[in-house]
Amino acid sequence: MKRMRAGEKRKRTIRAAVLKWYRSHGRELPWRHERNPYRILVSEIMLQQTQVSRVLLLYPRFLQRFPTLGHLAVARTSSVIKAWRGMGYNNRALRLQQLARRVAAESNGLLPRSVEALMLLPGIGRYTAHAVACLAFGRRVPVVDTNISRILRRLFPSMSSFTQANGNDDWARAAELLPRRAAGTWNQALMDLGATVCVASSPRCDQCPLLSLCPSAHRVSRTKKRRTKPESGRSGIPNRIYRGRIVEALRALGRGQSMTPGTLARKAVDDFNKGDRGWFDSVLESLERDGLIRRRTRSRISLPA
């Protein structure tokens, strides 16, 4: 019983310390002042695998071009891909428009409010569903991104060996720490703490509001990096880079224009030669399957209509 009371007291102390820190050190980000679910959704999709600094630049431009979910739903796909310039991972733009079209057709343009319903939409995984449900609709649900996961594993190192094999425990711990009110503020406070103080390498423990509560302070262990399977590519450059170059070359075309595969190859590949034709065609096929390019004929390629 005493141990339980001590655990609850520690949680309360953690919450109070983080929220106090956040009031003085939280980042000023435009989407945090939003209450429009569509705009919050756009920010969350953009923040997937993209640095905040880049999103800060491109987020207002995208919303100026597509101010509502309805505008995005009826837009030409080529226009959406062009507006995504500079974000990378162009599939996100396609999935975002697919989501907009489905919601416009099936839900009268209104995003669902529950985590479960959000996860049924294109491009929405567990994190994004929880983030939108919490930040756009005030749902009391945990949000666990890389930054929050890192904080939890350092605050509660005894669970780290288990969570390496089963990340679900991060979510369970995050749910335990949720305050009864203002879950959105709490989740954003944790994100900022992980992004600016409790960083992956060389954490700034002396600046951390949880210094006296964190058993990992000043002794973050170095873990061996997992060997990852090398990506398919050419000359040491992964195919995703060439995919991005191909889409970027097609973005430069005017409406109704197209390009031959040979011209496109020379623009996307520095030292393209005849021996690369089979490989390059397979990259084009993957882009076509994903809906990012359109083959008008075997010899003409453009962005989708």
Active-site positions read 44
Residue 152's nearest CA partner among 118, 202, 193, 124 is 193
Which two tokens mark 100? Answer: 């907009």
Residue 281's nearest CA partner among 248, 234, 235 is 234
Residue 99's nearest CA partner among 139, 72, 77, 137 is 72
Q: Give strand pairing partners of 237.
A: 234
Amino acid letter for position 225: K
**Residues 94-118 as b or e (16 or more Cβ within 10 Å = b):** bbbbbbbbebbeeeeeebbeebeeb
Long-range pairs, 194-203, Cβ under 8 A, ≥24: 194/145, 194/146, 194/147, 194/148, 194/150, 194/151, 195/27, 195/52, 195/147, 196/25, 196/27, 198/147, 198/150, 198/151, 198/154, 200/150, 203/154
Q: Is 113 helix (H, G, I), strand (E, B) or coil?
A: coil
Cα–Cα separations (whole angstroms), residue 101 to 83, 246, 304: 17, 26, 16
Helix or strand (DSSP H, E) at 196: helix 183-196
In angstroms, the CA 233 to CA 230 distance is 9
On the 0-12 / 13-18 / 19+ scale of CB atoms within 10 A, 245 is middle
Cα–Cα separations (whole angstroms), residue 27 to 32, 33, 41, 52, 149: 9, 11, 19, 11, 19
